[in-house]
Amino acid sequence: ILVSLRSELSRTSCYRSQLSHSARLIVGCTTSSASSASLPRHSHSAGAPPAVATAANSSEMSLQPPPPPQQQQRGNATGSLRNKTALRPGHSLMDWVRLCNSGRDMLDGTRPHGVSPEELAKHNKPGDCWMALNGQVYNVSKYADFHPGGPDELMLGAGEDATDLFNSVHRWVNFESMLRRCHVGPLTAPAAAASASSSAVAAKKSESVKFTWRDAGDEFIINFAFPWPCRSFAIVTSGGLYCRAELDSEDGAAVGYYEFRCCQPHAALLLADARCQIDGSTAATLRLGKRSSDQRAPVIGPVDIDQLYGLGSAPPPVRLFPATLSGWSQLTPDTRLFRLSLPAGSAVRTPIGWHVYCETTPVEGEGDGEMAVRRAYTPVAMGNDEAVDGLQEVWQPKATAELALVIKFYEGGAFTDWLRRRLPGDTIQVSLPDGKFSFDSVMHYDCLVLIAAGTGVTPMVNLTLAFLDLDSDKRVLLVYYNRTESDIILRSYWDRLTARYPGRLACRHSLTRVDPTSDWPGLTGRVSGPALANACASWEPLAGLPAERVFTAACGPDGFLASVGDALAAAAAADANCPLSADRLFMFEG
């Protein structure tokens, strides 16, 4: 079931406008938290839940000065601030799984059949609520009390084609699996285009990605031309070569997504290497290294292009690929660093601050039922050193066939309980990178103050490395919250990094539960204004920097993120020289 990233958007229109902001920057997503053993949250790193993220290749592509930062906005479909409802006892995700597997008729006697828009429109009230998603109609009446966003939000899609609305709020939710037993049938005629597309999108819709390719001996080179500036580009091979590009309209008013397959599905595409590079605003080059130089070209070619998802203002559905679990190392008692290998020849470059989704494959006899569980995790950049974490200490952006994910285990966690039983060689479904963070938007700041809790530190890894790599004046202060000393993830890694970047990187640990017999030298307590102001004031490289040269990013469980917002306001109020401000903040939400 699903994940927990969250979207700050709500209605489609609102979504669109936010996306346009996100093109410049600021939007968040991700992380996880513990609560959900039963539930859906996710993110990048976090244990049970999740979160997200990767970074946009934007760092490689934009030479434009970044636009002024904008304050993050969040909201739900009703336009209020986020609104995850406290579910009544007996209405957790696992309770829903149990109900679905109980053999009860979830359709209340209705026989599965094709549904016309007119019939769909009649089922538009609590207790009799149908909705169409991706061309299929579901009876969601029984799900209403289990919906983490609450029954009222669910009702916003009642009796209609709610695909755009659903995708704008949480397209990562695996509704096909969750509602399998509630499936009424296909929508027999397309509902009136509740198109979220702006006229600009519509105008461009007929235009497709164009590409030329050539066989350059030991590699295939494909040059792409997009109708709009390309923000990110990701590829993976699995029975074909899949590409996904995210495009910005010239005026930033819309975002378009293309997802397409550019070689035949049956083609054996065995690649030694694959690199994608955004060459300019609308051009990208894909270099596919051959395994052997006599590999013939017919596997790739313009005639083979098969556009799976055209330009539209809603993101394409999450597409999953089989990855192999190649191994893991233990980071803390309940956190492991997992390594996953994508299909042979794949190369995925995860934009900074973005995530991938991982999904379970129910295994017969393990009692998982039929429902797949999906979570989001932020990949961290791997290096080659011998340390247990093996993470990069110097930024080397590259497309890779291996993903490294920090995952925290939760007792009763729907995804991690399944993962706990997997062995090296087992398959895990993973998606292409997804996210909204734009590294471009923070590149021009002098200093990043990163505030993380638990697995929320995961997106900070690549962000720190890439930012410090920009030039020798860039500085990063990480304030990292954990419960106990043994919960600190990647502690020795941060020690190594701070030693490598003296005067440019500092890490302040804060614990909420300190062993009284220990001589803990760090900070104590939860995130608060005075503590943040103090952490900034006491780090000399940050002292004296004008506030507008400092950007803040935060990641952690929901409650933590809510406290960060309050703490930033309190920090600024407590110390007039404090450079922190909620106006220059990105939250990777969980």
* Sequence-separated (6 or more) residues with CB below 8 Å from residue 384: 390
Contact status: 169 vs ligand HEM (CB under 6 A): yes
Query: Which CB contacts under 8 angstroms, 24+ apart, belong to 267-273?
Result: 267/240, 267/241, 267/298, 267/299, 267/300, 267/304, 268/299, 269/237, 269/240, 269/241, 269/299, 269/300, 269/345, 270/295, 270/344, 270/345, 271/237, 271/344, 271/345, 271/346, 271/347, 272/345, 273/219, 273/347
Please say which residue, 391 or 453, places its beta carbon nearer to ligand HEM.
453
Q: How far is CA 435 from CA 272, 319, 583, in A?
A: 28, 14, 21
Please say which residue, 142 or 491, places its beta carbon nearer to ligand HEM.
142
Instruction: Output the six-digit token pair for 530.
Output: 């005075």
Calculated CA dihedral for residues 541, 500, 495, 540, nearest 10 degrees: -10
Contact status: 153 vs ligand HEM (CB under 6 A): yes
- Residue with CB nearest ligand HEM? 149
Q: Closest approach of Cβ 416 to ligand HEM, in Å? A: 15
By CB under 6 A, name the one of 82, 180, 291, 444 that touches ligand HEM. 82
Please say which residue, 134 or 492, places its beta carbon nearer to ligand HEM.
134
Please say which residue, 140 or 243, places its beta carbon nearer to ligand HEM.
140
By CB under 6 A, name the one of 55, 107, 137, 165 that touches ligand HEM. 165
Interatomic CA distance for residues 225 and 204, integer angstroms = 14
Contact status: 162 vs ligand HEM (CB under 6 A): yes
Given the rule CB under 6 A, which of 108-116, 164-172, 384-392, 561-569 is the region that contacts ligand HEM? 164-172
- What letter would DSSP give residue 187? B
Contact status: 106 vs ligand HEM (CB under 6 A): no
Please say which residue, 107 or 169, places its beta carbon nearer to ligand HEM.
169
Tell me if residue 292 falls in helix, strand or coil: coil
Tell me if residue 28 falls in helix, strand or coil: coil
Q: Closest approach of Cβ 37 to ligand HEM, in Å? A: 13
Contact status: 4 vs ligand HEM (CB under 6 A): yes
Interatomic CA distance for residues 376 and 46, integer angstroms = 8
> Taking CB under 6 A as the criterion, which residues in 369-398 touch ligand HEM?
none
Contact status: 178 vs ligand HEM (CB under 6 A): yes
Q: Closest approach of Cβ 310 to ligand HEM, in Å? A: 22
Contact status: 166 vs ligand HEM (CB under 6 A): yes
Contact status: 436 vs ligand HEM (CB under 6 A): no
Contact status: 83 vs ligand HEM (CB under 6 A): yes
Contact status: 5 vs ligand HEM (CB under 6 A): yes
Tell me if residue 447 falls in helix, strand or coil: strand
Please say which residue, 117 or 530, places its beta carbon nearer to ligand HEM.
117
Instruction: Output the six-digit token pair for 425.
Output: 């060689």
> Taking CB under 6 A as the criterion, which residues in 133-152 touch ligand HEM?
140, 147-149
Please say which residue, 316 or 345, places its beta carbon nearer to ligand HEM.
316
Please say which residue, 175 or 211, places its beta carbon nearer to ligand HEM.
175
Contact status: 91 vs ligand HEM (CB under 6 A): no
x/- track of binding to ligand HEM for residues 267-306 (CB under 6 A): ----------------------------------------
Q: Closest approach of Cβ 179 to ligand HEM, in Å? A: 5
Given the rule CB under 6 A, which of 78-86, 103-111, 189-197, 542-550 is the region that contacts ligand HEM? 78-86
Please say which residue, 83 or 208, places its beta carbon nearer to ligand HEM.
83
- Residue 508 near residue 524, CB atoms below 8 Å: no
Instruction: Output the six-digit token pair for 420.
Output: 């706990």
By CB under 6 A, name the one of 16, 21, 24, 41 that touches ligand HEM. 41
Contact status: 338 vs ligand HEM (CB under 6 A): no
What are the two backbone dihedrals, phi and then psi, of residue 145, each rounded to the nearest 5 degrees? Answer: -75, -10
Nearest to 235 by CA among 225, 251, 222, 226: 222
In degrees, to the nearest 5, what angle opens at C-alpha 18 toward C-alphas 12 and 20?
A: 110
Please say which residue, 149 or 397, places its beta carbon nearer to ligand HEM.
149
Contact status: 413 vs ligand HEM (CB under 6 A): no
Nearest to 72 by CA among 164, 8, 141, 129: 8
Interatomic CA distance for residues 324 and 52, integer angstroms = 20
Q: Residue 119 burial by CB count (10 A; 0-12/13-18/19+): exposed, middle or buried?
A: middle
Please say which residue, 162 or 288, places its beta carbon nearer to ligand HEM.
162
Interatomic CA distance for residues 405 and 45, integer angstroms = 7
Tell me if residue 223 falls in helix, strand or coil: strand
Nearest to 246 by CA among 50, 433, 466: 433
By CB under 6 A, name the one of 6, 142, 474, 504 that touches ligand HEM. 6
Nearest to 419 by CA among 488, 344, 458, 363: 363
Interatomic CA distance for residues 117 and 21, integer angstroms = 34
Contact status: 2 vs ligand HEM (CB under 6 A): yes
Q: Closest approach of Cβ 512 to ligand HEM, in Å? A: 24
What are the two backbone dihedrals, phi and then psi, of residue 309, each rounded to the nearest 5 degrees? Answer: -145, 120
By CB under 6 A, name the one of 44, 123, 142, 170 that touches ligand HEM. 170
Task: Compute how many residues bind ligand HEM; rule: CB under 6 A.
Answer: 30
Interface positions with ligand HEM (CB under 6 A) = 1-6, 40-41, 76-77, 82-84, 140, 147-149, 153-154, 156-157, 162, 165-166, 169-170, 173, 175, 178-179
